[in-house]
Structure 1
Amino acid sequence: MVAPLKGLSTSPPDGGWGWMIVIGCFLVTICTRAVTRCISIFFVEFQTYFAQDYARTAWIHSIVDCATMLCAPLGSFISNHVSCQVGIMLGGLLASAGLILSSFATRLEHLYLSLGVLTGLGFALSYSPAIAMVGNYFNKRKALAYGIAMSGSGIGTFILAPVVQLLIEQFSWRGALLILGGFVLNLCVCGALMRPIAGKENPKNMLEFPEQEFEPEAPKQDLKQWTICSPLIKVWSHKCLCRCSWQEYNFLLTPDFVVLAGSVLFMAYGCSPLFVYLVPYALSVGVSHQQAAFLMSILGVIDIIGNITFGWLTDRRCLKKYRYICYLFAVGMDGLCCLFLPVLQSFPVLVPFSFTFGYFDGAYVTLIPVVTADVVGTASLSSALGVVYFLHAIPYLISPPVAGWLVDTTGNYTTSFLLCGFSMIFSSMLLCCARLAKRARRTPSRPLGRDSNAKQTSWTNGAIAYSVTGELEQKGVELLASEANAFSKR
């Protein structure tokens, strides 16, 4: 038997140890995204203790989200070139250290660095590699696997929101942060589950250089020859590094990914402030602290339903090819929810809002890696997810402080929520218009004649593929010419 070539990947198993990967990613999303959402429960405590306005206090949550997304490519890099297990474990240690150091904060700037930068960096090293591992293990049931894995964010929010509120009441915000720091150490356990798939392609083994011939190792006595050739070795290694980087990120110039990236920017700007200001807004309209935390719990548990049901539905044969449309529909619905939020000023009417927003939030969060995989392919999924989550960074950084500044300026939340709603609706419309334009370009023009149709060339991904009929005609002419030559020799 011939041994398999090194660097070639096997097909995803769609099961087996893959379900352990799903469980590990599920726990990672609890320890990262759910904890990040629960930081909004500390908002009023920080604002009261440090005597700061909305805008300055909102920077804490913004920096956490920004650092998580800004450093996502670093997490992908460590996962690709070192190990996914190492990246997630290192991220758990950093995030835990940031939360523990935050419990000793005496100034708001201290929280910017510890809770914002250090914890966000730890979340970044853990989040994107764990999500990419799910895509490596699943193909046919990819959306369902992602739905289960991403539901950890909703389940974690549902459980942690009232628990964090209880911890604040019992141990103050310092004790609550200290306990969360110990809880986040579970990321190290999650990292141990992330076993690489057998036979999965290694970016280091994917490169082939036909113009280079690898010589056997030189003898030890030829030290002078190695010294002379060292500049050539440096040039060759630099060329290899450039080719490796291009192989990993060549999807950046594709039109589909550019449109998706632009849409992600507006979507991220619109979704972030709501998780920061839902609890403060509920308190401002007369809702109690426990009820405000319960709104976050409702949002979290419905988020779970959105994760799993949308993941299962979009894996069905009838909807599998419409994942892109389902994604933009979910984003648009969340935008509409934000537009109606300013008129909801009591707990009974805020509960349906939490149901609706939470469901569609879970839906599009599940479909982000699925749509990204459909656009760039599974081989580039880890790097592409790093870029997609990197694009969340700037909107996550500026949107909560901008919303807080609008609250400080206008004295209410109306302008902030309207801006969020219109931003998400524009994100959905951008994808919709791009899809319609792509379909219009794909519409075939009416053929002029049979001969022109036979010799027509087709373009696919920048490469020219000549039609079979044209080649058959050429071979027919050559065959007739050879027969004529043979007849003349007779």
Structure 2
Amino acid sequence: MANTKNESVANKDSSQRTDAPPAPPDGGWGWVVTFSSFMVSFLVDGVCFTFGLLFTEFLEYFGESKGKTSLLGSVLNGAYLSLGPVVAAFCNRFGCRRVAIAGGITAFLGFFLCSFSPNLDVMIFLYGFVGGAGFGFMYLPSIVMVGYYFEKKRAFATGIAVCGSGIGGFVFAPLTAFLLEKFSWKGTLWILSALVLNGVVFVQAFRPLHKKEKTESKCSKKIQSKDEALKPFSALDLELCDKHPIYKCRSVEAMHASNGKQDSVVRLAQSQDISKLNDVRLRHERNHSDTLKPLERKDIFYSGSLKNIPHTVETSTNGNRSSMHSLSRNMDVDVESADSDENACSKVASSLASSFDFSLLKSPTFIIYGLSCFLCMFGFFIPFNFLPDLAKDLKLEKTQGALLISIIGVSNTVARLLVGFITDRPWANSLVINNLALMIGGVTTFAVPFYNSFAILVIYSIVFGASIAAFVSLRSIIMVELMGIEKLTNAFGLVVLCQGLSSFIGSPIAGSLSDKTGTYNITFYLAGVTMFMAGALCIPLRRVARWEGLQTTVIQAEIREDEPEQSPMLNDKTQ
């Protein structure tokens, strides 16, 4: 009888395991995830980048001003970007796949229903807010999943995934122009909404990675060795426990998740033998808390090679993998965890709060870089939105206006790959590349009103596509270099929020200026100036970061010097 109980103890112990972060596969199904992420970028940015072709149709149909009509594109892009932190919180709670599916369906409904809009206001809500929210809920999970499935090959995999953005612009521009010729803008939106709905199929590949569960076999041996020493009792015999101590075993504190709750309760009373000590109430559901959460990994938004991150070493002890997971949150199990009664809304709210660290607003480094990103995104979408209409004013054909957007897409794709290759070199300076790209893009955009031929506009499209590719590709890398990997998630959330707000106001202001002047000259002047300022503002950024780091070191040293002086006083008080 005792032997069977001992065996049951061992069996229970083998089933109770400790959670450990999984090793990203760096291949296998990860390549399917990468392709799916590529297709999501293809669909999302393909639609966003070709809004300028629809813009001229909306102007003619609704008869509103350029400033108000451009709200369609600005709200679409602004909602898509600024919802990033909210989407991350939902991914934490419900998983990337579910969130992306909901986003795909939402975007489809927004684009399909907006074709029945009786006026521009309803159109702005459905096309802009609903469609943009759907895109936001699709796009972020696709990027996050690539980060989960790849570590050593992350830079390469992420490069493939984000290339969908440029390819989408290249394909959707002539496709949209063709559809507008064959059908009205309403029919075009029906077809585009159907294409967006295909994103729901692609995101089905976003399988969650489950935490590894490691059995601690030594624990069962310790329990069996002490089992015979304990006799039946109704309450703990303290003398007996002193002679034969009960070893604390990690597997007793093992966690099996249920309904997102972490709970492990050990009962010690009314026990016949030590097997009763393993009477652990395990709530078991593997949908939420046993899968990884986006904000748990501080490097999840890092698009470069993890080998380039300072102070990250991959180590292995007794077969247990540590590596980059030292950056993630501790996954300790609390006895009678207070989180057990937390509802879904509060969990989403807490995840959202954790993605923001407003203490960063005290950092001069972050403020300068955040302002740079705000200025860049102010002018970012202006060429996409107004270049086709400018081509129309220059008496160019509609197909030529669409071709300019396609060229921007191709240039964007090639430049992203090239920038990724260069920044992996040890001699590369990411900040210098970013600054030069933005300033060159700003100067060439400022000069757009002086371009009077299709050939020159083609050259401009190539340069502009390359400049914005460098900016987008290097955001996370620059933030890690300047502020550290530990602050990447929080900094990225605030930066994306700034970019979303800037996207909301950039195109409408530019369109309003065009309404007042009757030309697009001042529109492109404004876009060029803001982009150039975004690059110039970052020139002293590395020196500012070093100065800030030095100030932090001095403050920490002063605090350490004050600690010995305070300790005797504390000792006197305790005595």
Stretch deviating more after TM superposition (85-94 or 339-348): 339-348
| Aligned-residue offset at 1:406 | 1.0
Structure 2 counterpart of 1:431: 538
| Aligned-residue offset at 1:409 | 1.2
For the pair shown, the structure with the greater C-alpha radius of gyration is 2
Choose the corresponding residue for 1:312, options 398, 405, 421: 421
Amino acid in the other structure paired with 1:267:
C
Pair 1:214-2:310 in alignment: no
Structure 2: runs of 5 or more not aligned: 1-12, 212-290, 297-327, 562-575
Given that 1:143 and 1:367 are in contact with CA atoms closer than 8 Å, whether structure 2 keeps it comes out as no
Structure 1 counterpart of 2:163: 151
Given that 1:143 and 1:311 are in contact with CA atoms closer than 8 Å, whether structure 2 keeps it comes out as yes
Structure 1 counterpart of 2:407: 298
Pair 1:128-2:237 in alignment: no
Separation in 2, partners of 1:64, 1:241: 24
Amino acid in the other structure paired with 2:436:
F
Pair 1:259-2:368 in alignment: yes
Indicate how the Cα distance of structure 1 residues 334 and 145 shifts in structure 2: closer, same or farther if over 3 A, else same: farther
Amino acid in the other structure paired with 1:105:
S
Stretch deviating more after TM superposition (115-124 or 140-149): 140-149
Superposed CA deviations along residues 408-438 of structure 1, whole A, max 9, x for unmatched, are: 1112222111111111121122222221223
SS of aligned partner of 1:421: helix
Given that 1:55 and 1:401 are in contact with CA atoms closer than 8 Å, whether structure 2 keeps it comes out as yes
For 1:389-428, what aligned pairs fall within 5 Å after superposition? Answer: 389-428=496-535
Structure 1 counterpart of 2:282: none
| Aligned-residue offset at 1:258 | 3.7
Pair 1:90-2:102 in alignment: yes
Given that 2:85 and 2:352 are in contact with CA atoms closer than 8 Å, whether structure 1 keeps it comes out as no
For 1:72-471, what aligned pairs fall within 5 Å after superposition? Answer: 72-199=84-211, 201-202=292-293, 206=329, 214-215=335-336, 247-250=354-357, 253=360, 255=363, 256-319=365-428, 322-372=429-479, 384-439=491-546, 459=553
Separation in 2, partners of 1:369, 1:329: 17
Stretch deviating more after TM superposition (287-296 or 196-205): 196-205
Superposed CA deviations along residues 72-128 of structure 1, whole A, max 9, x for unmatched, are: 222111112210001111100000111111222231112111111110110111112
TM norm structure 1: 0.79
Given that 2:111 and 2:193 are in contact with CA atoms closer than 8 Å, whether structure 1 keeps it comes out as yes
CA RMSD of aligned residues (A): 3.6
Given that 2:444 and 2:464 are in contact with CA atoms closer than 8 Å, whether structure 1 keeps it comes out as yes
Choose the corresponding residue for 1:16, options 28, 34, 43: 28
Separation in 2, partners of 1:186, 1:237: 29
| Aligned-residue offset at 1:56 | 1.6
Amino acid in the other structure paired with 1:394:
L
Indicate how the Cα distance of structure 1 residues 48 and 317 shifts in structure 2: closer, same or farther if over 3 A, else same: same
Structure 1: runs of 5 or more not aligned: 217-229, 445-457, 468-490
Separation in 2, partners of 1:245, 1:117: 20
**Identity rate, percent:** 29
Larger fraction in helix? 1
Given that 1:103 and 1:174 are in contact with CA atoms closer than 8 Å, whether structure 2 keeps it comes out as yes
SS of aligned partner of 2:506: helix
Superposed CA deviations along residues 304-359 of structure 1, whole A, max 9, x for unmatched, are: 1011111122123332xx22332233222221221121111211111100111112
SS of aligned partner of 1:249: coil
Aligned residues: 436
SS of aligned partner of 1:195: coil
| Aligned-residue offset at 1:4 | 7.7
Separation in 1, partners of 2:545, 2:476: 21
Indicate how the Cα distance of structure 1 residues 131 and 372 shifts in structure 2: closer, same or farther if over 3 A, else same: farther
Amino acid in the other structure paired with 2:433:
C
Indicate how the Cα distance of structure 1 residues 144 and 439 shifts in structure 2: closer, same or farther if over 3 A, else same: same
